[in-house]
Structure 1
Amino acid sequence: MTDFGRALLLRHGQTAWSRDGRHTGRTDLPLTPEGEEQARAAGRVLAGREFARCVVSPFARARSTADLAGLTGYDVDPDLAEWDYGPVEGLSTAEVRDELGYDWDIWAHGVDVPVAPGRAASRAADAGPGPAPGVPQGETVEDVGRRARAVVSRIEPVLRDGGDVLLVAHGHLLRVLTAVWLEQAPIDGSRFALATAAVSTLSYERDRHVLAGWNIHES
């Protein structure tokens, strides 16, 4: 039987917003100095591995992570972009809950919520203005799941041909992609906590998709 390849996942290193627990979707923040060192450490975890294909999110925090990890010759795939958080971009869960007045959860309630434009004042200057209340914004978890399925469909022929693939992307996107890989609903990505610059492995047991390693850092 042919030995199938493995898909390794690398979340980008720390940014100021990931450090502070703020939703960071389309705001393209740089890595912090600690995030840069995390990326180098991830490179040491990956050292010696050969990849038939390396694919990276278009955002700078992911591309910087790939560069600092020593990866070269990678492709950029827009489908690896982080969840578009719309009106909750730049806000922490606590801030959204305070604004809405209930125990909001991104997985359960989504991002199309009436967060007032004035809340933009609490965000970093580069977050941009908040959207008008009641206007649909951002993506649903199912939207993210569709993008994740598209990525899986493109890498699986490489894996089934025996090649390993590395994906460098973002926390929520990679959690949804893992759920999709395991043939679960995208919302089940909520069950997979993923730290910055962690390495995880998706693999096969016979023909079954399995999780072979999760949230690994340099020891």
Structure 2
Amino acid sequence: MKVCLVRHGETAWSLTGRHTGSTDLPLTPHGEDEARALAPRLCPMGFTHVLASPRRRARQTCELAGFGAASEIEPDLSEWDYGDYEGRRSVDIRNEIPGWDIWRDGCPGGESPVDVSARADRLIARLSTMHGTIALFSHGQFGAVLAARWIGLALLKGRHFPLHTASVSLLGYDAHLPDQRTIELWNESRSDSIRVRER
């Protein structure tokens, strides 16, 4: 079993660094282009299951990439619930609360790190019952949490796994140690491919 994790395309708030949990923003026109550009990368992968966050930006990315009809909504793929910090930027929050760190402190009125870690673990348990290559259309911060938990790290380590919009990552298993989970590819985006070709 292999997991293809796709972060949604650009939104107005991802562009400005505002925390976007439950606010149901659409993709920007550029985000729509990013989502369409995923199709040639994803279509040959032959997904056995396609799961998408219920948030509009993830569903729209899934649809524009060509997988809307095959997708199933998975609530556990939702972004971190930012509670009172919804729509705010980290830098502005830290101006009021010096040293605040979402990975350690969570969000008042929203999810704690323990809550998000438990949600990721629940999703991983479900994925572990599936076979083939599974596509997940999700979000930046939750995707980082999922990667950390996939390889057995504490949620706090998720801060080391940033995701660009419309990026593709692959989570799998070591071919020689089938019980050991691995990160086979992380944060590949179309702009990365363009930069490589231009070198």
Same fold (TM over 0.5): yes
Residue 53 of structure 2 corresponds to residue 81 of structure 1: no
1:103 Cα deviation (Å)? Answer: 3.1
1:147 Cα deviation (Å)? Answer: 1.0
Ranges of 4+ aligned residues in structure 1 off by more than 3 Å: none
Matched with 1:11 is 7
Counterpart-to-counterpart distance in 1, 2:44 and 2:171: 18
Counterpart-to-counterpart distance in 1, 2:40 and 2:92: 37
Which of 137, 161, 165 does residue 168 from structure 1 map onto? 137
Q: Any residues of structure 2 matched to 1:41-52 within 5 Å, and which?
A: 41-52=37-48
User: Could you tell me which amino acid in structure 2 is paired with residue 56 of structure 1?
Assistant: A
Asked whether the equivalents of residues 8 and 200 of structure 1 are also in contact (C-alpha less than 8 Å), the reply is: yes
> How many equivalent residue pairs?
187
Identity of aligned residues (%): 43
Counterpart-to-counterpart distance in 1, 2:82 and 2:9: 19
1:150 Cα deviation (Å)? Answer: 1.1
Asked whether the equivalents of residues 104 and 113 of structure 2 are also in contact (C-alpha less than 8 Å), the reply is: no
1:209 Cα deviation (Å)? Answer: 0.2
Largest Rg, 1 or 2: 1
Counterpart-to-counterpart distance in 1, 2:148 and 2:94: 26
Asked whether the equivalents of residues 171 and 181 of structure 2 are also in contact (C-alpha less than 8 Å), the reply is: yes
- Name the SS of the counterpart of 1:55 in structure 2: strand
Residue 117 of structure 2 corresponds to residue 145 of structure 1: yes
Gaps of 5+ in 1: 113-136
Which of 47, 51, 54 does residue 55 from structure 1 map onto? 51
Residue 63 of structure 2 corresponds to residue 67 of structure 1: yes
Matched with 1:34 is 30
1:94 Cα deviation (Å)? Answer: 1.4
Counterpart-to-counterpart distance in 1, 2:113 and 2:28: 28
- Name the SS of the counterpart of 1:214 in structure 2: strand
Gaps of 5+ in 2: 194-199
1:47 Cα deviation (Å)? Answer: 2.5
User: Could you tell me which amino acid in structure 1 is paired with residue 148 of structure 2?
Assistant: A
1:104 Cα deviation (Å)? Answer: 2.0
Structure 2 length-normalised TM: 0.90
Deviations along 1:157-179, one digit per CA (max 9) or x if unpaired, are 213xxx11010011111111111
Counterpart-to-counterpart distance in 2, 1:61 and 1:69: 12
Counterpart-to-counterpart distance in 1, 2:141 and 2:25: 16
1:201 Cα deviation (Å)? Answer: 0.2
- Name the SS of the counterpart of 1:75 in structure 2: strand
Q: Any residues of structure 2 matched to 1:196-211 within 5 Å, and which?
A: 196-205=165-174, 206-207=177-178, 208-211=180-183
Counterpart-to-counterpart distance in 2, 1:209 and 1:158: 15
RMSD (Å), alpha carbons:
1.1
Asked whether the equivalents of residues 45 and 217 of structure 1 are also in contact (C-alpha less than 8 Å), the reply is: no
